[in-house]
Amino acid sequence: MAHQAGGRRPVPRSVPESCETRAYLDDYAAVVEAAPFPSLVVDHRWNVVLANDAFATLFGDVRHHPTAMPGDNFLRFVLFHPDAGQVLGEHEPGWCLPMLAQLKTALEGYGHDHELQAIRRDVARDPIMDAAFRQGLPYWIHAVGESAARLDGAVRLLHHPDPRRGTAECRVVDETPPLLRDLGHRRLTMIPRQPSAAVRRAHLTVVPAPQT
């Protein structure tokens, strides 16, 4: 994960060279760790810069994967880890489609980024996911609105490994302060909510039929 096993404080990863920036992220790590809910800081590639113990606990039971661990790159985890659906409820409609939308936005802003291009190539290798990205995603956004692709304020299902918590909705809250945003980072926190009727969303395999 982004913090060392058994440690109490997250260790920033992919930190810029500026000493002032490094010091800020070192101190901000304490803010992230103090959050009682799963919280992480990612860069524009969705590489995890910081994550707290609650985040580590939520994803602690997923198996090792060479390229898609949740504490390394959260976008890759959602899209490619075989255990993602064990933690992320309604995995395909609730998490994959919105994260594919996040990938699309990132590519529009950082089209020449090698890591983002590598993720896009891996998406292209999966016929269903590639069709969802090229055809299903525009159809889905048109059907449900641009707001559905936003993460801030989104309500998603989580399957917590602690049986006392079980399956519950969470609200994803963007808590990014201005200085962190200036670094190209964003902080997201998953705040549990009282259970309510789940809203069903378009499935990844739903692709509009070709016009005849």
Q: Average pLDDT of the chain?
A: 86
In which band, very low, low, confident or very high, does the pLDDT at 205 lie, cut at 50, 70 and 90? Answer: low
Strands (DSSP E) found in 109-194: 155-159, 167-174, 186-192
Are the C-beta atoms of 44 and 184 separated by less than 8 Å? yes
**Residue 191, strand partner residues:** 171
pLDDT of residue 8: 37
b/e map 17-40, b = 16+ CB within 10 Å: eeeeeeebbeebbebbbebeebbb
- The band of 141, judged by pLDDT with boundaries at 50, 70 and 90, is confident
- pLDDT for position 191: 96
Beta bridge partners of 155: 171
In angstroms, the CA 153 to CA 51 distance is: 19
Greater confidence, 87 or 21? Answer: 87
* Adjacent-strand bridge partners of 51: 40
Q: How confident is the model at residue 197 (pLDDT cuts 50, 70, 90)?
A: very low
Q: Supply the pTM of this predicted model.
A: 0.84
pLDDT in tens, 154-185: 999 999 999 988 999 999 999 999 999 999 99
Beta bridge partners of 170: 156, 192
| 56 Cβ contact list (under 8 Å, min separation 6) | 1, 3, 71
pLDDT per position as a tens digit, 107-140 = 999 999 999 999 999 999 999 999 999 999 988 8
Which pLDDT belongs to residue 211? 52
CB 48 within 8 A of CB 185: no
